[in-house]
Amino acid sequence: MKFPFTQPPAQRARSSRWLVPVLLVLLFLAVLIWLPWQARQMEATERQEQLIADTLWVEQTLRFELARSEEALGALAADLVARPPAPEALQARLRQMFSNGHELVRVSWYGPDGALRETHGAAPPAALPAATLLAAQVAGATRSGRYSEPYGASAATPGLLDYYLPLYANGKPAGSLVATYSLQVLLDETVPWWFAQDNALTLLDRDDHAVARRAAGGPGRGVYTHRRELDLPGALVVLSTDSVKRAPQLLPNLLVGSVIVLALGLVLSLATLWRHISRTLAAESALRQQMAFRTAMENSLITGLRARDLEGRVTYVNRAFCEIVGVPAEQLVGRKPPMPYWAPEVLSEYEERFQSVLSGTVVPQFETVFQRPDGQRVPVLVYEAPLVDADGRQTGWMSSIQDITDRKRAEELNRQQQEKLETSARLATMGEMSSMLAHELNQPLAAISSYTAGALNVLERSTQAGEPVNTGRLRHALEQARQQAQRAGQIIRSVHEFVKKREPRREPVTIQDVVEGVRALVELQARQAGVALRVELPPGLPRVEADRLMLEQVLLNLTRNAVEAMHDTPLAQRVLRIAAAHADGMVTVSVIDRGHGIAPEVAAGLFSPFYSTKLDGMGMGLSICRTAIEFHGGTLSHAPNPGGGTVFSFALPVQAAGGALG
């Protein structure tokens, strides 16, 4: 028969094994808690005893200072009774006393009739204070010096203390000496700075009213305090000290706190271990289920996964990777490079990257080409990351591989469409400029015709007259004809370079070359519209890595828009500026006009394809410009011109290894 609430023997044995360490840990914690408390009590007692000793030392120092002054006054009194010095000698002696005791405020000598005979320091009062008169009565009765009670203290003024010394000659009263002390100066001059920095000191009178204070380190905290009476005949003055230190903390140092934390961690570890034993089998079962789930998940991915150890040996591939390379997992796992899916044309690239992997230097992301057994090339995007075990040690590399065949095909199609669009835009631009080109070419051709006709006339007149040919005039005419022919040829070459179709070619170019390449066409547009062209290019602009023809197209489109924007601008203000600057690793080119500007509602869709404010515009110019600039890693933006009009700017990164040009 089984009784309820009865534990099996095995369970009772496990409970007893855990009971002893738990009790030991609890005892250890109790000791650790008691030790800081005991240390705190000992530290508090030590601080209080130290404060008492320091207060006693300060009290003795104050009393010594006053006693020294008493002796000096006694010696002076004896001299005044026996052989009074001359007034000058008396004043010199008083000055010496004041220099030795800065706490002295005033020393006065009164005759037997109470009349003031000599004084030094502050002006004496018209009548002695009541506290001083009381001290004088006691001093006369005892025939010895007496201190008065402190007087004159207020919230803003420290208290004063008088010392009344009666004088006697042959047993008869011969006057008195009255010395006045500043209790605040006595504290400031006598108490060391280090003691005042750690304690707030106060001198109290008989009624516990403060007559002087010194608290260099701030007010006391009321934790460690002590009171000590100054042994002054006839006066009750109490020295009160209040330490600025706090009470010691329960955990006095980091070591004790760390031990307590470790002990608490030990208790937590015991509890965790208790639970860990019961969860081990459940964890193993969950791990098997997780492994099965992860395998199914990896096999359902279209992203290839590949794991390699530190020697480059393949340790794992999933089904998607095998489908990408066309090689089964059995032929890949455990194999070291070279791999069967490496394409011959990039074999050196594979070897170089593999050596980098072995040295621990890995490119996190790169594109390459794999080759299937049938020879088909597969462009892929590879991501590399360190493979770390449970102990944090790197055991290899994990790669995820994406087949980017469709993306490459789409990029190529987009590139072709973009190229066609740019070519169409260039042809459209040249179509709009055809009438201006005809007019511009007509001028040099007409000049050539005129100069050649003039040369023929020179030859004919010389032949008819039988005179020698005027070679100077003939050379001048032919030279002018040659220059006009070069001008026409430059215009034709600019148009040919601008409209011809070719592949984008990025190479180091300078902004000066780009501007000069289209300058003839820009000047042609500007002259036809009555616009003055100003080119402001600072010397030393660095090169940029770019396709020169694409930059020329961007510049021509921006200048054409700028010229058209100034159609309604007064003729004197039609100025087109092309400026450049270099800052922060970027070269910025600005096209600045004085036109009508851009309205806010127009600016929102300014760079959108097929958006145009012109009746006959296609809305592709600025969109193509932005695409071309972003192709080079730059930006295209616009802003209002402070002088009226618009500023279009494009910024391009400086060539990495390029230098500045003179």
User: Within a domain: residue 295?
Assistant: no
User: Residues 620-658, buried b or exposed e (16+ Cβ, 10 A)?
Assistant: bbbbbbbbbbeebebebebeebeeebbbbbbbbbbbeee
CATH code for the domain of 516: 3.30.565.10
Give bridge partners of residue 106 from the DSSP assignment: 121, 180
Shared domain for 226 and 86, answered yes or no, is: yes
Tokens of 228: 């000590």
Shared domain for 200 and 308, answered yes or no, is: no
Phi, psi at 244, each rounded to 5°? -85, 0
Least confident of 53-57, 111-115, 121-125, 394-398: 394-398
Shared domain for 530 and 383, answered yes or no, is: no
User: Within a domain: residue 415?
Assistant: no
CATH code for the domain of 385: 3.30.450.20
Domain boundary among 368, 403, 438: 403
User: Within a domain: residue 157?
Assistant: yes
Shared domain for 576 and 644, answered yes or no, is: yes
**612: helix, coil or strand?**
coil
> Which residue type is seen at 134?
L
What's the count of helices (H) and strands (E) in the chain, helices before strands?
Answer: 15, 21
**234: helix, coil or strand?**
coil
Least confident of 156-165, 376-385, 453-462: 453-462
* Res 618 pLDDT > 50: no
Q: How confident is the model at residue 610 (pLDDT cuts 50, 70, 90)?
A: very low
Tokens of 18: 């855990």
Give me the sheet containing 210-214, strands edge to edge: 210-214, 199-204, 235-243, 225-232
Tokens of 239: 């020295």
Domain boundary among 376, 403, 430: 403
Shared domain for 237 and 131, answered yes or no, is: yes
Distances (CA, A) of 655 to 542, 546, 590, 632, 633: 7, 9, 19, 11, 11
Count of domains observed in the chain: 3
Distances (CA, A) of 478 to 163, 452, 473, 656: 125, 7, 9, 47
User: Within a domain: residue 236?
Assistant: yes
The pLDDT > 70 percentage for the chain reads: 77
User: Within a domain: residue 464?
Assistant: no
Shared domain for 237 and 306, answered yes or no, is: no
The pLDDT tens digits of the residues spanning 401-419 come to 888 887 878 777 776 666 6
Shared domain for 159 and 236, answered yes or no, is: yes
The C-alpha atoms of residue 583 and residue 578 are separated, in whole angstroms, by 17
The pLDDT tens digits of the residues spanning 196-217 come to 888 888 888 888 888 888 887 7
Shared domain for 239 and 170, answered yes or no, is: yes
CA atoms within 13 A on the CB side of 399: 25
User: Within a domain: residue 355?
Assistant: yes
| Angle in degrees, 0-180, between the axes of helices 621-631 and 405-432, rounded to the nearest 10 | 130
Shared domain for 337 and 203, answered yes or no, is: no
Domain that holds residue 575: 506-662
The C-alpha atoms of residue 322 and residue 327 are separated, in whole angstroms, by 5
DSSP 376-410: -EEEEEEEEEEEE-TTS-EEEEEEEEEE-HHHHHH
User: Within a domain: residue 481?
Assistant: no
Model pLDDT, residue 658: 42
| Look-up of token digits 């394409």 | 343
* Res 1 pLDDT > 60: no
Shared domain for 113 and 189, answered yes or no, is: yes
Shared domain for 87 and 186, answered yes or no, is: yes
The pLDDT tens digits of the residues spanning 426-448 come to 555 555 555 545 545 655 665 57
The pLDDT tens digits of the residues spanning 632-656 come to 889 988 888 888 889 999 999 998 7
The C-alpha atoms of residue 37 and residue 34 are separated, in whole angstroms, by 5
User: Within a domain: residue 11?
Assistant: no
